[in-house]
Structure 1
Amino acid sequence: MQVDRHPIADRASWLALRQQDVTASVAGAVLGAHEYTTAFELWALKSGLIQEDPEETPAMRRGRLLEDDALQLLAEERPAWRVEAANDTYLRAPAHRIGATPDAYAVDPERPGRGVVQVKTTADTVFRAKWRAEDRSIDLPLWIAVQAIVEAKLSGASWACVVVLVVGHGLDLHVLDVPLHAGIWTRLVDEVALFWRRVETGEPPAADYARDGETIGALWPPDADTPPLDLSASNRAPVLVDERLAVADAIREAEARKKAIDAELVALLAGAPVGRLADGREITRTMQTRAEHVVRASIFPVLRIRNPKRNAAA
């Protein structure tokens, strides 16, 4: 398999290189296994229908700034390893249109060849909620394992690991080995080929409506010049409208009930800032300050359900 190596000059050129490939960081999406990106969103991005935000998110910035710290801790905790940063080169397999930017490589004298190191950073609360199993073992998210497998394949590494830097009151490092399952790579190559065919033909994968709302909204903003769409032949539309109205009524009833419950709890507290229940739970009511802020004017779409016939009859 031919793998091209591209030195990374700056962030803009790196983003341009990534646009032509399914990269390791989102490869799990085409397998339906990514926590943050869906296949539908990735299809819209690679089709040029929506644009990737070039700005770093706070989590991305944290990861970039703490990556060197994680590698330093790795070198301290694995003194026999020879660790070398690798994030200055973009790797791509042009025949498959798959790419990757490994974080680092390592040589472990106890196993043959060179390994690829994928660095992740997370808050301690998130680590406990998403990474820790009930038996206290660590569950590596599948999309991260796929990322490490892709990076190992493109870099020719013989082994791979994920280094997780957990940020809390201190810094905790966990080193997780990733088995290089050949079957995952084979399936990924097939799914990526199908993905690019969908991009070429304009045929999107199925949307996940629970996750793809923002992408769908970006693809189809309301156009005031478009005439009303006749949905009278749709069997699905009235079902969705009825369910939305029922959910909206339930939300209003729940909010009203919550407001009444809050009032009764305030009466029970009678001015006390804390009320302790027999089972150990606490009700708190304290003063807090809301900082003054200005909300900038904006234009955004709003979805409503109207009944012109009912309004006309009234």
Structure 2
Amino acid sequence: MTVSRFPIRDRMAWLAWRARDLTASDIGAAVGLDPYKSALKLYAEKTGLLMPDGDNPSMRRGRWLEAAVLEAIRDQQPDWEVRPAKVYLRDEALRLGATPDAVAATDEPGLTNIQCKVVARPTYEREWALGPPMHYQLQTLTEGMLLDAARSYLAALVIDTYTAELYLHPVPRHEAAEAKVRTLAAEFWANVAAGKRPAADYKQDAETLAAMFPQSVAEPVLNLAGDNRLGELLPLRETLKSELADIEKGIEAIDTEIKDTLGEAERAELPGWKISWKTQKRKAYTVAETTTRPLRVTRIEEKEKAA
């Protein structure tokens, strides 16, 4: 591999570099293992159909606390020389990139790559019990490959209200896995060039599909007579909608009985529960014009078919 190194001095330049490549943090999404981004959303971002997600509180927390992770490593591993990497790595032929968080010189030969994560205690106990999530491992492995590091660690600073603990998870170099990452990058950009998009993940991609197809086309009417899958889904959808309506009516009836019990009272308590029915005032505002594509599914009755 021929890897170029770009010192990171400007955040906007760094974001522009990342936009042109499949990055280490994208690998999990590309193989369908990222719980926060689907393969289709990744494809849409890299082809310009969607803008990448902007900054958010979780990302800012990780960025702000990265220095705390490195300080925890120095405290726990005083013999290590740890420093922020501050470099963007790029294999131009594969359009594969990575931004290691830090590197370290240890008592072992060769460079050590470090990927920093800040994790809430409940999340760590729930999602890291059997080891780091696979999309994080793939990210770290890709960074280590492009950095040509001797080894990598996923450093998880696990925080709760009163404590912070550091866990260092080794991510060894793995020749076969690295070869698969390189193949994945080549296939991803080949599919982009051919206009071959990944299949949608129907549990994740509602907003992605809405953004990809914002405008409807009136003609021609799509004939789905041979679509057996939709033939199964539509009756199921009708049943679920009916059950949902019954559930919502049941909840509404319960809420009405609660309100009748409270009367004028703003709050109420009973063992194990708190109830609030507080008066609120909402300021007037003007709603800007929007364009949407509401989905409507209507059963055609037999008499309509005959007509």
TM bucket normalised to smaller? 0.7 to 0.9
Residue by residue over 1:73-107, the C-alpha shift from the partner in whole angstroms, topping out at 9 and shown as x without a partner, is 22122211110101x21101122221100000012
| 1:89-168 correspondence runs (5 A) | 89-109=87-107, 111-131=108-128, 133=129, 139-168=131-160
1:284 maps to: 274
1:304 to 278, 296, 299: 296
Measure, in 1, the Cα distance between the counterparts of 2:282 and 2:64: 31
Measure, in 1, the Cα distance between the counterparts of 2:212 and 2:219: 15
| 1:159-238 correspondence runs (5 A) | 159-170=151-162, 171-223=164-216, 226-238=219-231
2:75 maps to: 76
The percent of aligned pairs where both chains have the same amino acid is 34
1:244 paired with 2:241, answer: no
Which residue identity does 1:169 align to in structure 2?
Answer: T
CA pair 82-19 structure 1, distance change in 2 beyond 3 A: same
Check the 8 A contact 1:5/1:92 in 2, yes or no: yes
Check the 8 A contact 1:70/1:119 in 2, yes or no: yes
Q: Give RMSD over aligned pairs.
A: 2.9
Check the 8 A contact 1:31/1:188 in 2, yes or no: no
Deviation at 1:290, TM superposition (A): 5.9
> What secondary structure sits across from 1:285 in the alignment?
strand
TM-score by length of 1: 0.84
Check the 8 A contact 1:25/1:100 in 2, yes or no: yes
Measure, in 1, the Cα distance between the counterparts of 2:274 and 2:300: 46
Residue by residue over 1:258-293, the C-alpha shift from the partner in whole angstroms, topping out at 9 and shown as x without a partner, is 3344566788999894444xxxxx233245676846
Residue by residue over 1:151-190, the C-alpha shift from the partner in whole angstroms, topping out at 9 and shown as x without a partner, is 1111111111111122321333222222222221111212
Which residue identity does 1:211 align to in structure 2?
Answer: Q
Which residue identity does 1:168 align to in structure 2?
Answer: D
Check the 8 A contact 1:30/1:188 in 2, yes or no: no
Measure, in 2, the Cα distance between the counterparts of 1:185 and 1:296: 51
CA pair 263-128 structure 1, distance change in 2 beyond 3 A: farther
TM-score by length of 2: 0.85
1:42 paired with 2:42, answer: yes
Q: Which runs of 5+ in 1 are unaligned?
A: 277-281
Check the 8 A contact 1:269/1:275 in 2, yes or no: no
CA pair 147-94 structure 1, distance change in 2 beyond 3 A: same
Measure, in 2, the Cα distance between the counterparts of 1:112 and 1:266: 70
Size of the aligned set, in residue pairs, is: 300
Q: Which moved more, 1:10-19 or 1:155-164?
A: 10-19
Deviation at 1:232, TM superposition (A): 3.7
1:51 maps to: 51
Check the 8 A contact 2:152/2:171 in 1, yes or no: yes
CA pair 98-304 structure 1, distance change in 2 beyond 3 A: same
> What secondary structure sits across from 2:79 in the alignment?
coil
Check the 8 A contact 1:90/1:99 in 2, yes or no: yes
1:31 paired with 2:31, answer: yes
CA pair 230-288 structure 1, distance change in 2 beyond 3 A: same
Deviation at 1:256, TM superposition (A): 1.9
| 1:259-270 correspondence runs (5 A) | 259-262=252-255
Measure, in 1, the Cα distance between the counterparts of 2:200 and 2:228: 19
CA pair 289-52 structure 1, distance change in 2 beyond 3 A: farther
Measure, in 1, the Cα distance between the counterparts of 2:143 and 2:63: 18
